[in-house]
Amino acid sequence: MQTVKIALTILVALLLQMLLSNYLGFFKYVDLALVMTVYFGLQRALLLGMLAGLVLGIGGDAVTSEIVGVGGFSKTLIGYLAALTSVKLSMENPLARLAAVAVASVVNTILHVGLHLMLEQPLVDASTYAGLGKTVGWRVLGDTGTAIVLFLILDRVFAEQTAARRMAIKKRFYE
pTM equals: 0.88
DSSP-based helix, strand, coil % in the chain, nearest 5: 85, 0, 15
Q: At what angle do helices 46-64 and 2-23 cross, to 10 degrees?
A: 30
Residue 171 near residue 92 (C-beta atoms within 8 A): no
Angstrom distance (rounded) from CA 149 to CA 3: 22
Angstrom distance (rounded) from CA 42 to CA 134: 27
% the chain with pLDDT above 70: 90
Number of domains forming the structure of the chain: 1
pLDDT, tens only, 11-35: 999 999 988 888 887 888 899 999 9
Q: Is residue 163 very low, low, confident or very high in pLDDT (cuts 50, 70, 90)? A: low
Residue 85 belongs to a domain with what CATH number? 1.10.1760
Q: Is residue 162 very low, low, confident or very high in pLDDT (cuts 50, 70, 90)? A: low
Angstrom distance (rounded) from CA 110 to CA 133: 10
Q: Domain range holding 14?
A: 2-174
The yes-or-no verdict on residue 126 having pLDDT over 80 is: no
The yes-or-no verdict on residue 103 having pLDDT over 90 is: yes
Which SS3 state, helix, strand or coil, does residue 42 take? coil
pLDDT, tens only, 73-97: 999 999 999 999 998 888 888 899 9
pLDDT for 164 equals 63
pLDDT for 92 equals 84
